[in-house]
Structure 1
């Protein structure tokens, strides 16, 4: 038992970890204890006890979780949209009069909303990728080999050495300027895989939204991860 009482904890063994570490997973609402392969679980528990107050305060500061259910409000491109269940309709999921409307049985509502947001994310982020890659500032060479949309716990996007670009579907909830920055950031990695001065100079050419986007994600990113 910790001094702060019971805390939700997830244990993670990682071959790449060189030391025991703690982080908060906003999506799960839990403390993640990462252990190197040979580290003892007791050592992780000792570190958690040492930082129990920090973990408890960080968990308490998380925004309330938003579930995909009737009446809940979720963001789409930075604007709140209430979910309205329309069981007798035959349109799947669609946006009308500022609402996200969902047809069919109530038991399928959560999955249908999640699928809708993933499809919206792919459509909107794919369009942004095309627009930025075709811009004069890109000067060619910023087209990924593949675009992947998935759910992630820590990253809004990534770029591999194979030129595969990945984005979190949750970005579709963020305002357009934030989406633009994250897409530009990852496309810039197609030319510069590091975060050196040449990389940041290219980012500045591709998007004017870096400062606003980084601040917005710092303050509101947890809300996106707590939605679903």
Structure 2
């Protein structure tokens, strides 16, 4: 893998594409991976010269990549917008107590147990929000599933299946509610037309600041690693 020297060195993934007509660079905001896409027959030396010319831009973009943190005991973790300290707990179940997130059992299993707890809580909150918005809209959805998606916070299929990122439980409740309203609105409008946004506004009149929060801070929610 080509490397740009410096402090620190930057690895560059070279990707050849038959559709590419010019060199292009991309820095992933999820993991900081630098990808250089080049035409299929381009010379590698020319591609690397292009990357070196863009080194300043690459390093500035890398500064904007959210830092990752492995979750475990003593981690400060946002849950429904509140900063909770992960601490050892007693009993059999993970629970929230005051400003602590108490995890019983083997500390090595804390990340997995936390993820399971958060997914269950996310399902509960999203199901309640979707049920509420679907009743208001006068539509019904087929099923609700959770995933750890990186490119979108939710989706709605033509047959009424709703999908959400479980990491929405880390965001403030109105943000989760906005995403639920957004996807439920697609049950009536499978597009992003003015008519669609009118439906979102009917379901959640004050959605704009919560949409903005997700744009500004949403990527940081992917920075928490639960042993995966």
Normalising by structure 1, we get a TM-score of: 0.82
Deviation track 1:25-61 (CA, whole Å, cap 9, x = no partner) reads 343243356789x687959767655544333222212
Q: What is the CA RMSD across the aligned residues, in angstroms?
A: 2.9
Could you tell me how far 1:202 is from its partner in structure 2?
A: 0.8
Q: Secondary structure at the match of 2:149?
A: coil
Counterparts in 2 of 1:23 and 1:211: CA distance versus 1, 3 Å: farther
Deviation track 1:197-222 (CA, whole Å, cap 9, x = no partner) reads 11111111111232201221122112
Query: Which residue, out of 208, 211, 216, partners 2:208?
Result: 211
Counterparts in 2 of 1:33 and 1:159: CA distance versus 1, 3 Å: farther
Could you tell me how far 1:65 is from its partner in structure 2?
A: 2.1
1:58 corresponds in structure 2 to 61
Matches within 5 A, 1:1-228: 1-2=3-4, 6-7=9-10, 22-32=25-35, 42=44, 48-49=51-52, 51-86=54-89, 89-135=90-136, 138=137, 140-141=138-139, 143-228=140-225
Q: Distance in 2 between matches of 1:45 and 1:189?
A: 44
Q: Distance in 2 between matches of 1:164 and 1:53?
A: 44
Q: Distance in 2 between matches of 1:192 and 1:65?
A: 36
Q: Secondary structure at the match of 2:70?
A: coil
Counterparts in 2 of 1:13 and 1:165: CA distance versus 1, 3 Å: farther
Q: Secondary structure at the match of 2:74?
A: coil
Segments of 5+ residues of structure 2 without an aligned counterpart are none
Could you tell me how far 1:12 is from its partner in structure 2?
A: 7.6
Q: Which one has the largest radius of gyration?
A: 2
Report which stretch shifted further, 64-73 or 51-60. 51-60
Could you tell me how far 1:90 is from its partner in structure 2?
A: 2.2
Q: Distance in 1 between matches of 2:207 and 2:17?
A: 32
Could you tell me how far 1:134 is from its partner in structure 2?
A: 1.3
Deviation track 1:99-125 (CA, whole Å, cap 9, x = no partner) reads 111011111111111111111111111
1:8 touches 1:29 (CA, 8 Å); kept in 2? Answer: no
2:30 touches 2:65 (CA, 8 Å); kept in 1? Answer: no
Q: Distance in 1 between matches of 2:207 and 2:30?
A: 24
Counterparts in 2 of 1:150 and 1:35: CA distance versus 1, 3 Å: farther
Normalising by structure 2, we get a TM-score of: 0.82
Q: Distance in 1 between matches of 2:160 and 2:47?
A: 36
